[in-house]
């Protein structure tokens, strides 16, 4: 069955939105296969965000992801990779449509990095790679 890696980023955990985000995943009909509060490491983040290395927002992004615990989640179900991206909404929370996690719960806080509450894998290849990174024993 298809699986995706979801992260409730440090802003989501800090704001107490972990439950609300898990609720939306379950309400949509997806299954939670793993849920773990983790403190990210620079090693895991360097691999997780390898595609963004060299971009101006890379260093602030890694710093933000280290600023507090993240809730790492494996969600499963047919179509869950695209389905969760759709639940999450556009990367920029100001532009994200109402009804989405970022559109309903996120905003621009005037910071260096878009704090947009969640991450979701963007393809089957990244999903398998990212699940292996965050849940090496799964
Ligand atoms: P993820 O699910 O977190 O991967 O978000 P995404 O796939 O919608 O965005 P992408 O992978 O392109 O970027 C990863 C993260 O980097 C985003 O979630 C933002 O936190 C941050 N980011 C991406 N693009 C920008 C940008 O143009 N400016 C800033 N400041 N941050 C960005
Ligand atoms: Mg991405």
Task: Report pLDDT digits (tens) over 29-61.
Answer: 999 999 999 999 999 999 999 999 999 999 999
pLDDT score recorded for residue 113: 87
CA–CA gap between residue 133 and residue 138 (Å, rounded): 10
Express each pLDDT in 90-115 by its tens digit: 999 999 999 999 999 999 999 988 89
- Of the chain, the percentage scoring pLDDT greater than 70 comes to 100
51-73 exposure pattern, b = at least 16 Cβ within 10 A, e = fewer: eeeeeeebeebbebbebebbbbb
State if residue 61 touches ligand 1 by the CB under 6 angstroms criterion. yes
State if residue 113 touches ligand 1 by the CB under 6 angstroms criterion. yes
SS3 48: helix
State if residue 4 touches ligand 1 by the CB under 6 angstroms criterion. no
The residue whose CA is least distant from atom 26 of ligand 1 is 57
The residue whose CA is least distant from atom 20 of ligand 1 is 114
What topology does CATH give the domain 3-123?
A: Alpha-Beta Plaits (3.30.70)
Domain boundaries, the chain: 3-123
> Is residue 127 scored above 90 in pLDDT?
yes
- Please count the other Cβ atoms lying within 10 Å of the Cβ belonging to residue 103: 17
pLDDT score recorded for residue 112: 84
Instruction: Kindly list the distances between the CA atom of residue 65 and the CA atoms of 14, 47, 79, in Å, as whole numbers in the listed order.
Output: 12, 13, 27
Copy the structure tokens of residue 1.
């069955």
Average pLDDT on 121-128 reads: 98
């Amino acid at each position: 069955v298809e699986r995706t890696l979801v992260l409730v980023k440090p802003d989501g955990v800090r704001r107490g939105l972990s439950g609300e985000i898990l609720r939306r995943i379950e309400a949509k009909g997806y299954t939670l296969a793993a849920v773990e509060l983790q403190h990210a490491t620079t090693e895991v983040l360097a691999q997780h965000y390898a595609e963004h290395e060299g971009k101006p927002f890379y260093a602030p992004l890694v710093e933000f992801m280290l600023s507090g615990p993240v809730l790492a989640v494996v969600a499963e179900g047919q179509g869950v990779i695209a389905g969760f991206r759709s639940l999450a909404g556009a990367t920029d929370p100001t532009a994200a449509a109402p009804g989405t996690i970022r559109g309903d719960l996120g905003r621009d806080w005037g910071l260096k990095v878009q704090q947009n509450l969640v991450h979701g894998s963007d393809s089957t290849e990244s999903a398998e790679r990212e699940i292996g990174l965050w849940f090496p024993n799964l």
